[in-house]
Structure 1
Amino acid sequence: MKVNSVKFNFIMNFILTASSIIFPLITFPYISRTLLAAGSGAVSSAASVLSYFAMFASLGIPTYGIRACARVRDDREELSRTVQELMIVNTVTTVLTYAVFLVLLAVVPKFAAEKELLMINSVSLILNVIGVSWLYSALEEYGYIASRTLIFKVISIIFMFLMVKSPDDYIIYGAISVFAGSGSYVLNFLRLRRYVDFKKTQQYHFKEHLKPIMIFFATSAGISVYTNLDTVMLWMMKTNVDVGYYSAGIKVKTVLSTLITSLGTVLLPRLSYYAEKGNKDEFYKIIAKACNFVVLLGAGVTVYFWMYAKESILLLAGADFYGAIAPMKYLMPTVLLIGLSNVTGIQVLTPTGRESKVLYSILAGAVTDFVLNLVLIPYIAADGAAIATTVAELVVLLVQCIYLKDTLPKIVKDISIRKVFVALILAMAGGGLIRWLDIKSLFLNLLISAVVFFGIYGGMLMLQKESFVCGTLENSIQMIRNKLNRR
C-alpha cells in the first residue's frame, strides 16, 4: 500500500483544519441573521445533545481505531478482522445508545418539543458506524479525507444559501449541517472494499479491544467534562456576562491551539506503525521534529497574542467584550501547553500503548481545574476560570512528562530553546515598537504588528540557522524549483 509522506499528510490536514475555521466564518453571519437567535440556538442545542449520544455510541473507537488499524495495515487479513471487530462493537453500542435516545425523546418535554430536529441529527449516529473515518486516518488517506470533506462543505454552503431563507427554515439548516458533517461517511463505506474484506476468515477477538476502547472512552469523556467545566461553573457561580467574556477568550485560544495540534492527528498512525514495528530511531526522529515544530510555532503565537490580546478581542468581538481581554491573556499560555501535551500524550504515550497514562494526566488536570475554579471564580470570575484552565493544562503536561522521564531527554535535546528565546525577545521589541506608534485602526494595527513580530521572529531563527526553519525553507525552495523545471 502506498503511504504518503508526513509532509503531504500535514499539508492536507492543515487545509482541513483551516477549512473548519474558515467555513464557520462564512456561514455564521448569514445563519445568525436569517434564523435569528431562536432558530440558530435550536440547531446548536440539538447538535450538542447528539454529540453526547455520539460519544457513548462510539466509545473510544475514533482514537483507538486509528492506532489498532495502523499497527496491522500491512496485513490485509488482520486489518479486515480488526475493522470488522470494531464495526461490530460500534454497531452494538450505537443500537443501545439509539434506544436510550428514543426513550428520552418520548419522555423528556424539551426533547419532544424539538423531536423533528433531533431525529434529523440522530442520523449522524448511524452514519458514524459506517463511516469508519478512523480507518482512513490509520491508512493516512489524508488527501482523500481533505478532498471529500471540502466537497461536502462547499455543497452544504450552496444548499444553505439556496434553501435557508427565513427563521422557519431552521430544520432544513439542521439537515444541511448533518449532511456537511456526516454525509461523506456514505462514500467512506462504499470505498471500504478497497482496503478490507467483509468475509469472516478467522476467529474474532473482541476482548483485546474492550479495555483500550474503554480507556479511550474515559479519556474522551474526561476531556469533554474538563473542557466544559469552566463555563458551567462560571455560569452557575456568576453571570452570563462573565461567561461571555470567558467564551470570547476561549474561542481565540481554541482556534490557535487547533492549528498547532493539527500535526498530531497526522502523526498518530505513522507513530503507531513505527512503535508496532519496533522502529525506535524513526519514532523518536519524528517526535523530536513534532516537538520542535510545536515550540517554534506555539511560542511565537502565544507571545504575540498575549501582547495583542486587547486588539484581537476588540476586532473580533467589539467594545462590549472589553472584559474578555484579561481572560484571553491568562489563557494564551495554554496554546503552547496544549501543543506540548499533544506531543507527549497523543504522539508518544498513545502509540506506545500507554493510553491509561494519558487518562490519569487528564483526571489530574480535571481535579486541579475544579478545585481552582471553586476557589477563584467567586472572587475574580472569568479571570479565575482562565487561570484555572492554564494551571490545569500545565498539570496535564507535567504528569505526562513524569511518565516519560526516561524518554524525555531524547525528545528535548533537539529543541532549539535558546534560539527561540533570542528570536522572541527581539520580536517582542519589534511588536512593542508598533504598539508605541499607536495605530488607530485595529485591523491595520494587528496586520502591521503581526508582519513585524513574525518577520523578526522568523528572520532571527533563520539567522541563527535553526534546523527546522532552515530545512522547511530549503524544501520549499526545492519544490518550487522542481515545478519550474518541469514547465
Structure 2
Amino acid sequence: MKKASIQYNIIFNVILTLSNIIFPLVTFPYVSRILNPSGMGVVNFYSSIGNYAILIATLGISTYGIRVVASVREDKSKLTKVVQELTLINVLMAILVASLLLVSVLFVDKFQSEIGLVLITATSIVTSAFSLNWLYSGLEQYDYITKRSILFKVISLVLIFILVRKPSDYILYAGITLFSSLGSNILNVFYSRKFISFVPTKGLTFRPHIKPMLYLFASMLAVNVYTNLDAVMLGFISGDVAVGLYSVASKMKWLLLMLITSASAVLLPRLTYHLSKKESQQFNKILSESSALILLIAVPLSVYFIFMARDSVLLLGGDNYVDATTCMQILMPILIISGFSNITGNQILIPHNKDKLFMIAVSIGACVNLILNVFLMPPYGIVGAAIATLVAEATQMAIQYYYSKEYLRGRISYVVIRNIVLSVVSASATMCLIIGTLHFAPLVNLALSASLFFGVYLAVLIVLREENILRFLKKAKV
C-alpha cells in the first residue's frame, strides 16, 4: 500500500482539527439561542452519557486499533482478521452497554421522561462500533477521514439551520447529530471494502487483544477523569462562578493542545509500521523530526499566550471572565509539557507496546491531580486548580520520560532547542516593548501582537538556519 508523506497527513489532520473547532463555534450560538438553556442542558446531558458509554464500549480500541492495523496493513488477510476481531469485540461491548442503558430506564425516572433521547443515545452507542476511525488512521487515510468528516459536518450544519426552529426541536437536534455519525459510519463500512474482505475469517482470536486494550482503556479513563475532575471539584468547593472562570482558561488550553497534537497524531501508525518492519533508522528519523516539530510549535505558543492571556480571556468570555487571566497563564506551560508527553507516550511507549507503563504514568498523574486539588482548591480556588493540573501534567511527563529515555537519547537536538530559545527570547523582548501600547479591542490586540511575535520568532529561526523550518519552507515553495 502506497503511503502518503507525513507532511501530507499532517496537513489533513490539522484541517480536520480546525474543522472540529470551527463547526461547533458556528452552530453553538444558533442552537443555544433556539433551544434555550433547558433544551441545551438535556441534550448535553444525554450526549455526555453517550460519550462515556462509547468510551467504555470501545475498550481502548481507538488507540490500540491504530497500532495493530499499522503493523499488518501490508497483508490483506492479516488486516482483515484483525479488523474483524476488533470490530466484533466492539460490537458486543456496544450492544451490552446500550442494553444496560435501556434497562436502566425502568429504574431511573429522569430517563423515563426522555425516552426519545434515550433511544437516540442507545443507537449512537451501538453504531459507534462501526466508525472504524482506528482502521483509517492505522492505514494513514487522513485525507479520507478529513473529507468524510467535513462532508457530514456541512450536511448537519444545513439540517440544523433548516429544521431546528423552536425550543421543542431539541430531540430533532439530537437526531441530526445521530444522523451525522450514522451516515459517516455507513460510509466507513462501505469504503473499508477497499482494504479488507467482508468474508468471515476462520480462527478469530480475541485473547491477544484483551490485555493491551484494557491497559489503554484504563489510561484513557484516567485521562478522562482528571481532565474533568477540576471542574467537578471546583463546583463543590468553590461554586459555579469558579467553574465558569476555570472553564474559559482551560478551553483556551484545550484548543491550543488540539492544534499541537494534531500535527503529531499522524505519526503513531507510521512509527508502529517502521517498528513492525524493524526499520529502526526510519523510526529514529521520524522521532527526531516530530520532537523538533512539537517543540517548535509548543514553546512559542505557550510563551505568547502567557503574555496575551488577558486579551484571550476577554475574547473568549468577555469582561466577566477577566479574573481567569492568572489561571490561564499558569496553565499555558502545559502546552510544552503535554507536547513532550505526546512524544514519550504516543510516539515511544505505545508503538513499543509498553501500554502498562503508559497506564502507570497517566494514573499517577490523575492521583497527583486529585490530591493537590483537595489541598489547593479550598484556599486558592481556580489558581489552586491550575497549579494542581500543571504539577500533575509535569509528573506524568516525568514518569513517561523515565520509561522512554533510552529511546530518546540522541533524538532531541540541542541545536534545535538553542534555536527555539533564542528565537522565543527575541520575540518576547519585542513583546515587552509593545505590549503596553496595545489598547484596542481584544481581537485586534491579539492579531497585532501575534503577527509581531510569531513574525520575529520565524525570522530569527530563519537567520539561525533552523533546518526544520528551512525544510518546511522549501517544501511549501515559499
Q: TM-score range with shorter-chain normalisation?
A: over 0.9
1:193, 1:255 → 2: CA distance? Answer: 35
Partner of 2:132: 132
- Aligned twin of 1:340: 340
Look up the SS of the partner of 1:406 in the other structure: helix
Instruction: Look up the match of 2:267.
Output: 267
Whole-Å separation in 2 of the counterparts to 1:21 and 1:130: 24
Using the alignment, how far apart are the partners of 2:116 and 2:457 within structure 1?
A: 53
**2:430 matched residue in structure 1:** 430
C-alpha distance in structure 1 between counterparts of 2:246 and 2:142, whole Å: 34
Contact 2:348–2:407 (CA under 8 A) maintained in structure 1: no
The answer to whether structure 1 residue 401 and structure 2 residue 401 are counterparts is yes
CA distance in 2, matches of 1:182, 1:349: 33
Maintained 8 Å contact 1:242/1:382: yes
Query: Which residue of structure 2 lines up, in the alignment, with residue 203 of structure 1?
Result: 203
Partner Cα distance (2:351, 2:438) in 1: 49
For each residue in 1:273-297, what CA deviation from the matched residue of structure 2 results, as whole angstroms up to 9, or x when unmatched? 1111111111111111111111111
Q: Which runs of 4+ in 1 moved over 4 A?
A: none
Is 1:117 paired with 2:106?
A: no
1:114 Cα deviation from its structure 2 partner: 2.1
The equivalent residue for 1:296 is 296
CA deviation after TM superposition for structure 1 residue 447, in Å: 0.9
| Matched residue type, 2:317 | A
Structure 2: where are the runs of 5+ without partners? Answer: none
SS in 1 for 2:465: coil
SS in 1 for 2:411: helix
In the other structure, the counterpart of 2:382 is 382
Change (3 A) 1:414 1:141: farther
Secondary structure of the 1:351 match is coil
Q: CA separation in 2, counterparts of 1:92 and 1:420?
A: 49
For the aligned residue pairs, the C-alpha RMSD in angstroms reads 1.2
Q: 1:421 to 1:182 in 2, by over 3 A?
A: farther
Which amino acid counterpart does residue 330 of structure 1 have in structure 2?
A: I
Amino acid at match of 2:244: G
More deviation in 228-237 or 107-116? 107-116
Structure 1 residue 440, shift from structure 2 partner? 2.8
The equivalent residue for 1:367 is: 367
Contact 1:291/1:415 (8 A) holds in 2: no
> What is the aligned residue count?
478
Going from structure 1 to structure 2, the CA distance change for 1:284 and 1:36 (only over 3 Å counts) comes to same
Query: What displacement does 1:124 show?
Result: 1.6
TM-score, normalised with respect to structure 1: 0.96
Offset at residue 31 of structure 1 (A): 0.9
CA distance in 2, matches of 1:158, 1:415: 50
1:280 paired with 2:280, answer: yes
- Structure 2 distance, partners of 1:8, 1:120, is 36
**8 Å CA contact retained: 1:50, 1:118:** no
Counterpart in 2 of 1:34? 34
Letter in 1 for 2:313: I
Q: CA deviation at 1:148?
A: 0.7
Superposed displacement of residue 182, structure 1? 4.3
Correspondence for 1:481: none
Q: What's the CA shift for 1:402?
A: 0.3
Partners of 1:430 and 1:38 lie apart in 2 by: 48
8 Å CA contact 1:250, 1:331 repeated in 2:
yes
Aligned match of 1:75: 75
Equivalent residue number for residue 250 of structure 2: 250
2:463 aligned partner? 463
The 1:182/1:343 distance shift into structure 2, 3 A limit, reads farther
Output the CA distance in 1 between the equivalents of 2:438 and 2:226. Answer: 39
**1:190 positional shift:** 1.3
Aligned to 1:218: 218
CA contact (8 A) 2:234 2:243 kept: yes
Kept in 2: contact 1:295–1:415 (CA 8 A): no
**In structure 2, distance between residues paired with 1:229 and 1:50:** 19
Q: Report sequence identity in percent.
A: 38
Q: Would the alpha carbon gap of residues 415 and 186 (structure 1) be closer, same or farther in structure 2, given more than 3 Å must change? A: farther
Corresponding position of 2:19: 19
Q: In the alignment, residue 55 of structure 2 is paired with which amino acid?
A: M
Whole-angstrom distance in 2 between the partners of 1:281 and 1:158: 48
1:80-124 deviation line (CA, Å, top 9, x unaligned): 111111111112211211121111122111222222112113222
Q: Could you tell me how far 1:476 is from its partner in structure 2?
A: 0.7
What is the CA distance between 1:8 and its match in structure 2?
A: 0.8
Q: For residue 329 of structure 1, what is the aligned residue in structure 2?
A: 329
Which letter maps to 2:178?
V
Residue 92, structure 1, aligned to residue 89, structure 2? no
Q: How big is the shift at 1:13? A: 0.6
Q: Any gaps of 5 or more consecutive residues in structure 1?
A: 479-487
Letter of the structure 1 residue corresponding to residue 170 of structure 2: Y
For 1:14 and 1:112, locate their aligned partners in 2 and report how far apart those are by CA, in whole Å. Answer: 41
Three-state SS of the structure 1 residue aligned to 2:281 is helix
SS in 2 for 1:54: helix
Further displaced range: 79-88 or 198-207: 198-207
Give how far 1:25 is off.
Answer: 1.1
Write out aligned runs for 1:350-365 (5 A). 350-365=350-365
Decide whether the 8 Å contact of 1:65 with 1:134 is kept in 2: yes
**In the TM superposition, what is the alpha-carbon distance from 1:183 to its structure 2 partner?**
2.6
Amino acid at match of 1:73: R
1:106 is aligned with what amino acid?
Answer: L
Correspondence for 2:186: 186
Report the CA distance between 1:224 and its aligned residue: 1.0
Shift in Å, 1:38: 0.9
Name the structure 2 match of 1:151. 151
Moved more, 189-198 or 137-146: 189-198
Equivalent residue of 1:429, what SS? helix
Equivalents in 2 of 1:360, 1:240: separation in Å? Answer: 32
- 1:390 counterpart letter in structure 2: L
The aligned residue for residue 48 of structure 1 is 48
